[in-house]
Structure 1
Amino acid sequence: MTEAIVNQYWTLLADRHDADAFQTLDAAYREPQRAYHAWGHIVDLLTKLDALGSLATRPDLVAAAIFWHDSVYLTRDPDGRPRTDPENVRASAALFERHSRFDAVEAQSIHDMIMATASHMKAKATTEHYPGFARDLDFFLDLDLSSLAASWAIFERNLDDIHFEYGWVPERAFYLGRVQMLESFLGGGESLYRLPETRALWLEPALANLRRAQAELRERLARPASSA
């Protein structure tokens, strides 16, 4: 964890949470089953928010959504049942609500940003909680997908980290699932990123990474099952 950026933004938010909130987050993002969905992801998004904060009307609320959006992350339940992304998102939103001391409008805004990650590409603001909320929600979702535009080395490492989180899934099934995910992102085309500013920054490298990863995974899947 890069403490400086975390401390910078938590200082803005601490008095709008209960006393146990940060300890809860810290324990969550250090859980041993995590690799990608850990503090590194949160630091990455906060760092980008810091650089692009002028795009947000309420960067403080975007920061709160960043802190809480993956606060619950399991790929399977203790009984072995696969856990869906929407289940994790709902649990993350509920955990935020448990520790929130934001006013009603702010809390609902953060809740809706968190919940938007359950459907990501299809999500949109249904209520303009404050002037600029819809754009803030779009900005937050763009930040959450910004790692798709990382250098290939980082992109590949992120895929490996997600593979670790799904280590219980048979390898071939995991690759099939990743191909489907990549295809869903590629299917979005230019709408992968919502804001013109983030699209200009991230769309081209993200699509290049997605196409390269798709080709490599398809090549693996074309091999005999024992070598995939």
Structure 2
Amino acid sequence: MTGATVENADEARRLRYWRRIAEAHEPGAYQALDDAYRQPHRAYHSWAHIDELLTGLERFDSLATRPDLIAAAIFWHDAVHLARDPDGKTRLDRQNVRDSVAAFRRHTILAGSEAQAVEDLVMATSDHAGARATTEHYTGFSGDLDLFVDLDLSPLAAPWEIFAANTQKIRSESIGVEEAEFAANQAKMLEGLAQGDRPVFRRAETRAAWDAIARVNLARCIAGLRAAGR
């Protein structure tokens, strides 16, 4: 497929999933997301990332108990993404995630356990390796959380050329961060995902599809980052 054809297919998928959850949001919610994901500084955390996760959800939809809530989490999990606070200090990923949750809360009409489930899914992206379901908001929620985390990590299993390009895109978003600092922080984060023999992905089906190539990519990238950070 040509680039334009792929882009059209991605947008069609995105709008198809949005239509499934549009009634769970206030008017103007999609426009708020569109404004966010088209911000000029976004190289990796853009609509392309959301589209990639929706492609994965479409592939593994049958594993989800509430694919609608997973889709909502996909749309909102990077709604806010800034490298630095207004005072110039490096912004922690966890704060971006919290602010993304706040954006979701402003625009959703979901309430109770459904809204809390989406919030917990989004918050899981602040600690991919350690995130666990502490409350079973509905039967199957813990499995949905595992699937959502796997989807957010699925770019780790991209072909190496794409993986390397994604790393450079993430680097370009780290405005004002020195190369050595970025390399050290990124290597530490990736090492947390590649600990020992522990699988990178949680669900058996996603593990079978993605784990082997992700491990090769992680080892190669970590070695390069450590060399760059010296």
TM-score (norm 1): 0.93
Who is 2:12 aligned against? 4
Tell me if structure 2 keeps the 8 A contact 1:121–1:188: no
Instruction: Return the alpha-carbon distance in structure 2 between the equivalents of residues 43 and 188 of structure 1.
Output: 31
1:15 matched to 2:23: yes
Question: Per-residue deviation at 1:85?
Answer: 0.7
Who is 1:58 aligned against? 66
Q: Identify the range of structure 1 (119-128 vs 189-198) with the bigger mean alpha-carbon deviation.
A: 189-198
Which of residues 69, 84, 90 in structure 1 aligns to 2:77? 69
Which of residues 141, 153, 157 in structure 1 aligns to 2:161? 153
Who is 2:134 aligned against? 126
Structure 1, unpaired ranges of 5+: 223-228
Instruction: Return the alpha-carbon distance in structure 1 between the equivalents of residues 225 and 126 of structure 2.
Output: 25
Q: Identify the range of structure 1 (176-185 vs 42-51) with the bigger mean alpha-carbon deviation.
A: 176-185
Q: Secondary structure at the match of 1:71?
A: coil
Question: Per-residue deviation at 1:221?
Answer: 3.7
Deviations 1:123-164 (A, max 9, x none): 111111111011001100000001001000110010000000
4+ residue runs of structure 1 moved beyond 6 angstroms? none
TM-score (norm 2): 0.93
Letter in 2 for 1:25: L
Who is 1:205 aligned against? 213
Instruction: Return the alpha-carbon distance in structure 1 between the equivalents of residues 161 and 209 of structure 2.
Output: 18
Which of residues 187, 200, 225 in structure 1 aligns to 2:195? 187
Instruction: Return the alpha-carbon distance in structure 2 between the equivalents of residues 35 and 149 of structure 1.
Output: 19
Which of residues 31, 34, 46 in structure 2 aligns to 1:38? 46
Count of residues in Structure 1 that have an aligned counterpart in Structure 2 = 222
Question: Per-residue deviation at 1:188?
Answer: 6.0
Letter in 1 for 2:17: Y
Identity %: 51
Q: Secondary structure at the match of 1:164?
A: helix
Question: Per-residue deviation at 1:191?
Answer: 3.5
Structure 2, unpaired ranges of 5+: 1-6
- Would the alpha carbon gap of residues 134 and 210 (structure 1) be closer, same or farther in structure 2, given more than 3 Å must change? same
Instruction: Return the alpha-carbon distance in structure 2 between the equivalents of residues 136 and 38 of structure 1.
Output: 23
Who is 1:106 aligned against? 114
Tell me if structure 2 keeps the 8 A contact 1:76–1:82: yes
Tell me if structure 2 keeps the 8 A contact 1:163–1:174: yes
Question: Per-residue deviation at 1:173?
Answer: 1.6
Tell me if structure 1 keeps the 8 A contact 2:26–2:108: yes
Instruction: Return the alpha-carbon distance in structure 2 between the equivalents of residues 188 and 152 of structure 1.
Output: 21
Which of residues 94, 100, 110 in structure 1 aligns to 2:102? 94
Q: Secondary structure at the match of 1:121?
A: coil
Instruction: Return the alpha-carbon distance in structure 1 between the equivalents of residues 46 and 170 of structure 2.
Output: 11
Tell me if structure 1 keeps the 8 A contact 2:181–2:229: no
Instruction: Return the alpha-carbon distance in structure 2 between the equivalents of residues 62 and 144 of structure 1.
Output: 11
C-alpha RMSD of the superposition: 1.3
